[in-house]
């Protein structure tokens, strides 16, 4: 199906979704530019191994990336995993497989900021969701929440790792803090689970993606302000 939207030669931008350790020992969130080499079957495609100036960047097998495709039909995004490295006609390529659905990139989407933020979460009942919607979040119990770590966040949602699998489409209560203007601000938000699955080769660890629901514009703006400030700090470094 992806060949309907993506063609060989299309430019791509690959952004690591977790901290990656490269063969040279460097570690962190990195973005690479490359192009599509060929489209395979079953959601797989080959991407030309990216270069840093004239030097090949040897991305690790099993690395996961947020990939943006620049096509004649517009921009598309998907999460992809490197499953193999090959040399074809003298060109090194990354054999990747889609681990999320390909979707049209809308510029109105919120920027996802990579981070490490401790958080607590638990599933909510329908009654609890209604209580939250009425502005009575302080009445909801928080003693039975489980620990997790947010690994990226945006004004629209978050991705976090936990030791619990959540039901897709379920509503969860999330509690975390963000440093804003040199002060720790507490957030108690509701998220709808859009993805939850065990992480490959990491037993009893689950990746979860949520979309913020019932969030007011002031709270959303605080999260965006946090992202903006952290990005500015990173650029200065």
Please tell me the predicted confidence (pLDDT) of residue 73: 81
The pLDDT, as a whole number, for residue 63 is: 85
C-beta separation of 222 from 178 below 8 A? yes
Measure the CA–CA gap between 175 and 187, rounded to whole angstroms. Answer: 6
What global pTM score does this model have?
0.58
Three-state DSSP state, 14: strand
Instruction: Please answer whether residues 197 and 209 qualify as being in contact, where contact means their C-beta atoms are separated by less than 8 angstroms.
Output: no
Task: Kindly report the backbone phi and psi dihedral angles of residue 2, in degrees, each rounded to the nearest multiple of 5, phi listed first.
Answer: -65, -20
> Contact, 121 vs 145, CB < 8 A?
yes
- Residue 46's pLDDT is 96
Among 145, 127, 147, 144, smallest CA distance to 136 is for 127
- Residue 22 is predicted with a pLDDT of 47
CA distance 86 to 58: 11
Using CB atoms within 10 A of its CB, is residue 171 exposed (0-12), middle (13-18) or buried (19+)? Answer: buried
Pairing of strands 31-39, 11-16: antiparallel
How does pLDDT run across 157-181, given as a tens digit for each residue? 999 999 999 999 999 999 999 998 7
Altogether, the residues listed in the chain come to a count of 237
Residue 162 backbone phi and psi in degrees, to 5: -145, 175
Cα distances (angstroms) measured from residue 3 to each of 36, 119, 226: 11, 39, 38
| Number of neighbouring beta carbons within 10 Å of residue 35 | 14
What's the rounded Cα separation, in Å, for the pair 174 and 194?
Answer: 15
Q: CA angle 41-47-53, nearest 5°?
A: 175
DSSP string, 53-74: TTEE--PPTT-EEEEEEEETTE
Residue 221: is it exposed, middle or buried by C-beta count within 10 angstroms (0-12/13-18/19+)? exposed
pLDDT tens for the chain, 237 residues long, are 788 889 999 999 888 766 555 444 555 567 788 999 999 988 899 999 998 878 898 888 988 888 989 888 888 888 899 999 999 999 999 999 998 888 876 655 677 888 999 999 999 999 999 999 999 999 999 989 999 999 999 999 999 999 999 999 999 999 999 998 778 999 999 999 999 999 888 888 999 999 999 999 889 989 988 988 888 787 666
């Amino acid at each position: 199906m992806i060949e309907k939207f993506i063609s060989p030669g299309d430019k791509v931008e690959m952004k690591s979704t977790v901290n990656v350790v490269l063969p040279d020992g460097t570690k962190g969130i990195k973005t690479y530019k490359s192009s599509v080499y060929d489209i395979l079957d079953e959601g797989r495609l080959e991407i030309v191994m990216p270069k840093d100036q004239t030097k090949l960047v040897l991305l690790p097998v099993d690395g996961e990336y947020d990939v943006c495709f620049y096509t004649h039909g517009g921009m598309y995004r998907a999460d992809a995993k490197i499953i193999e490295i090959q040399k074809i006609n003298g060109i090194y390529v990354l054999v990747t497989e889609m681990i999320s659905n390909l979707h049209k990139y809308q510029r109105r989407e919120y920027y996802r900021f990579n981070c490490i933020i401790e958080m607590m979460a638990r599933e909510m009942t329908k009654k609890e969701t209604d209580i939250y919607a009425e502005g009575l979040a302080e009445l909801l119990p928080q003693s039975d929440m489980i620990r997790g770590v947010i690994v990226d966040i945006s004004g629209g949602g978050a991705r976090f790792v936990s030791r619990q699998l959540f039901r897709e489409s379920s509503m969860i209560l999330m509690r975390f803090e963000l440093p804003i203007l040199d002060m720790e601000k507490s957030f108690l938000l509701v998220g709808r689970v859009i993805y939850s699955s065990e992480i490959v080769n990491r037993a009893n660890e689950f990746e979860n993606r949520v979309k913020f629901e019932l969030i007011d514009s002031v709270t959303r703006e605080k999260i965006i302000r946090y992202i903006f400030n952290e990005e500015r700090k990173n650029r200065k470094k």
